[in-house]
Amino acid sequence: MQNFDYINPTMIKFGRGQITTIHEVIPKEAKVMVLYGGGSIKRTGIYDQVMSSLDGYDVVEFSGIPSNPEYEVLMDAVSIVREQEVNFLLAVGGGSVIDGTKFISAASVYDGDDAWDLLTKQEPIMEAVPFGTVLTMPATGSEMNYAAVITKRATSEKLLMQGVGIFPQFSVLDPTVVSTIPERQLSNGLIDSFVHVLEQYLTYPVEARLQDRFAESILNTLVDIAPKVKFSPSDYGSASDYMWCCTNALNGMLHNGVPQDWGIHMIGHEITAMYHIDHAITLAIVAPSYYQHLIGQKEAKLAQFAERIAGVTEGTPREKAVKAIEFIKSYFLSLGVTSKLSDYVDCFDQCAENISKTFKERQWLGLGEKQNVTPEMVEQIVKAAY
């Protein structure tokens, strides 16, 4: 096992009815900004629960945070936070609203010239306005981690910011919200969380048996519950498992002491920035081709995946690795998502060439756990996924 530092200060309030208890964890004198997206929280009744719990607080609202949250929109909220001296933020939404709130919380106390530098300079975020979240859609794990992914519309960039300053103070996970989520978004969450685990597991063995078993238990649970979540989202038991799997897939526990990859996400973010394809779908497009190209260096862990997740008992390590990739592809397909870029956009080689060019410009010359996935290989991976 490799050395690691680990902290996770986010309080989780899990279960039915927990949305109505948020006043217990927000200071009474706080001036609260409630942030949300396109309005689904009003249709689902989550807004009413939040507002009644905030009765008596000084509240301002900021709505309209889009999927793949945009710097240009978020900066409007930063101005309001500063002008009105807001000192607590409450994100009510999925990964986009939560990530957008993380950016707003850090940008509001940033004293540089342009808060976009928080994304480009890659310095750890240490200070931010305190915030909590009410998760309306499990998928990204943003509710219990210190990362956010923000898009700049003007330049079609989609970049990551990180730092312990943007851990939520608390997150409410009420599985009853799952019953309101459209089927497409349920598939997205089942894919995104699955790939989060893969990016921290499909590397090479380092004798981290517990982390391997943690990862495998999440993968096995997701495979078990996926049909129930997709077709019976009102089932409280599977909704609870689903929500808790998504959170644990990216709250830091899995990557302690093990190598990580994240190449699939880095390529996927570019596809979303260029063509506005849902985050999870870009992962389903890239993952099989990525693993096929790196089957040599990932063979041992792919074979372990085949044995422990896909139930493969026969064959050489290479044959098992091939079956693991087939299994991953069929999991996506069982959720109605194909792994062919051309099913979503007509871009031929242009997409692959653009990504490779962008990575070269950014000096992202070696992705993956061994930093050996060059822009040229990225181009081949995306071309093969077309």
Yes or no: say if 278 and 187 are a contact pair by the CB < 8 Å rule: no
Does position 176 interact with ligand NZQ (CB under 6 A)? The reply is no
To the nearest whole angstrom, how small is the minimum distance from the Cβ of residue 142 to ligand NZQ? 3
Kindly tell me which residue out of 192, 212, 261, 299 binds Zn ion, with binding defined by CB under 5 A: 192
To the nearest whole angstrom, how small is the minimum distance from the Cβ of residue 140 to Zn ion? 6
Q: From CA 357, how far away is CA 359, in angstroms rounded?
A: 6
Kindly tell me which residue out of 34, 50, 95, 303 binds ligand NZQ, with binding defined by CB under 6 A: 95
By beta-carbon distance, which residue lies closest to Zn ion? Answer: 192
To the nearest whole angstrom, how small is the minimum distance from the Cβ of residue 279 to Zn ion? 6
To the nearest whole angstrom, how small is the minimum distance from the Cβ of residue 265 to ligand NZQ? 5
Q: Order of strands, edge to edge, in the sheet holding 131-135?
A: 11-14, 170-173, 131-135, 88-93, 31-35, 58-62
- Which letter does DSSP use for residue 8 in this model? -
- Which letter does DSSP use for residue 189 in this model? H
To the nearest whole angstrom, how small is the minimum distance from the Cβ of residue 129 to ligand NZQ? 17
Does position 230 interact with ligand NZQ (CB under 6 A)? The reply is no
Q: From CA 321, how far away is CA 305, in angstroms rounded?
A: 8
Total residues in contact with ligand NZQ, by rule CB under 6 A: 33
Kindly tell me which residue out of 140, 176, 200, 211 binds ligand NZQ, with binding defined by CB under 6 A: 140
The CA-atom distances, in angstroms, between 67 and each of 55, 262, 273 are 28, 21, 11
Distance of CA 52 to the CA centre of its chain: 29
3-state helix/strand/coil string of 135-163 = ECCCCCCHHHCCEEEEEEHHHCEEEEEEC
Does position 132 interact with ligand NZQ (CB under 6 A)? The reply is no
Yes or no: say if 84 and 22 are a contact pair by the CB < 8 Å rule: no
CB nearer to ligand NZQ: give 141 or 259: 141
CB nearer to ligand NZQ: give 262 or 305: 262
Kindly tell me which residue out of 125, 134, 137, 302 binds ligand NZQ, with binding defined by CB under 6 A: 137
Kindly tell me which residue out of 74, 177, 229, 310 binds ligand NZQ, with binding defined by CB under 6 A: 177
Q: What are phi and psi of 172, to 5 degrees?
A: -95, 125
Q: Which residues bind ligand NZQ (CB under 6 A)?
A: 37-40, 44, 67-68, 93-97, 99, 136-137, 139-142, 145, 147-149, 177, 180-182, 185, 188, 192, 250, 265, 279
